[in-house]
Structure formats: structure tokens, C-alpha cells
Amino acid sequence: MSEIPPIEERLNLSKRNIVFIGPEGSGKTTHAKKLSKQAEHPYVSTSTLIRYRAENDFTAIGDECRRMFRDKDYLDPLVILKIISEEITKTEYENGFILDGGLRTVLETQLFGSMLESVDRQFPMTVIYLRIPVWQAVERRLSQPDHLRRDDDTEEGVLSRLSSYYHELGLRASLIKNPDQFEFHQIDARGAIDNNYAHVLDALR
């Protein structure tokens, strides 16, 4: 039996932007990092960028990031778009990127394409929506090891965050499904990680 070629030989992500969205616990980080490593396409995490700004940026942007963590709220869409745009102007993203998280509000979704164009990163964009039921999102989040837990990782805290995620999800989905701006794929992510990842690869092909 012939050896299966590496993913980068079978799936060319150059000049493409991939965005993983979905509720917490859906596997966004796991799949985005795995895809980045196997396809040699750069990975960027919105939560990591925001956390870095909260800890190291003493401008108004850093203040807004610290407020977000304090109030357990979403970041102002214009602020998160500015943070992402400043990151992806780096040379490592000149052929596109894999974004873990994003498109969390209607305004952010509406302006995302314009933001990419403003920094010359307007490559074809694929949005992978990892879909799981609320109960499973809560179950997965609360089963995380201690070093990955947040101080508000209680059932009430997770449900509150999920409520923010699902706010106006239908409207955001209708914008994301616009074929002139996004290629949209919905993945049933209830199953095992390896099976879910195989479905992600099928969608990207």
C-alpha cells in the first residue's frame, strides 16, 4: 500500500485565510493548531492576542482588553479588528493565516473583509463553524484539566459566556454565508476529535 502523502501535498492553503468559529469546547484551538502544523500555514489566536495586550499594552487598547477580562465581556469589535490587523501585517502572514476565534459580533463580521483589504490580506476566506450543543460545550469546558481552567469555569459562568456567543448568531451566520465574502462550512463536532478533524479536511478540499 502506498504511503499517504503529507497534508501539505494534498491540501494547499497558500493565499487562503481559514477562520474557525464555534462555542467554547467545540475544538477550535485543537483543530486550528493541528491544521497549522500539518499544512505549514501560520496560526493566530484572538484570545492569545487579547491576553497579551491585557498584560503588556498600557495604551487605550490594553485598557479595553483588561476591561473585557474584568467584566467577562466581549471586546469592542473595532478594537479586536485593530488588534488582528496589526498582527497579520507581519511577514509570516503574507500568504494567509488560520485564525482561531473571531466573527463574534455582527459588526466584527460585517467589517472583517474590509479589515483584511486594508492590510492587503484579502485572500479567499473559509469559515469553519464547529457546531456542538450547549450541554456538550458546558461538559467539555468543565472537564478541562486545572491548568486550563478559568476562574469563572463554573456551570453558571460557562452558560453566561455561551449566552454571549449565541447572541445574534443567526444574523452573523447569514452574513458569513454570503458567498461573495466567505466560503462557509458547518461541521458536526459532537464526535471524537480525529473524526471531526477529518471532516474539517474534507471541507477544506
Per-residue model confidence as pLDDT tens digits over 69-125:
998 888 999 999 999 999 999 999 999 999 999 999 999 999 999 999 999 999 999
Residue 70, beta-bridge partner list: none
Domain 14-204 fold is Rossmann fold (3.40.50)
Q: What is the pLDDT of residue 7?
A: 55
Sorted by where each begins, the domain ranges of the chain are 14-204
Judged against a pLDDT cut of 50, whether residue 8 lies above it is answered with no
Continuous segment of H or E residues that includes residue 29: helix 28-39
Q: Exposed (0-12), middle (13-18) or buried (19+): which is 185, by Cβ within 10 Å?
A: middle
Q: What is the pLDDT of residue 4?
A: 46
Single-letter code of the amino acid located at 132: I
Judged against a pLDDT cut of 80, whether residue 3 lies above it is answered with no
pLDDT tens digits along 140-187:
999 988 888 888 889 999 999 999 899 999 999 999 998 888 999 999
Helix spans in 60-182 (H): 60-71, 77-88, 106-118, 134-142, 155-166, 169-176
Single-letter code of the amino acid located at 126: T
pTM above 0.85, yes or no: yes
Q: What is the pLDDT of residue 10?
A: 60
pLDDT tens digits along 12-39:
899 999 999 999 999 999 999 999 999 9
Q: What is the pLDDT of residue 50?
A: 96
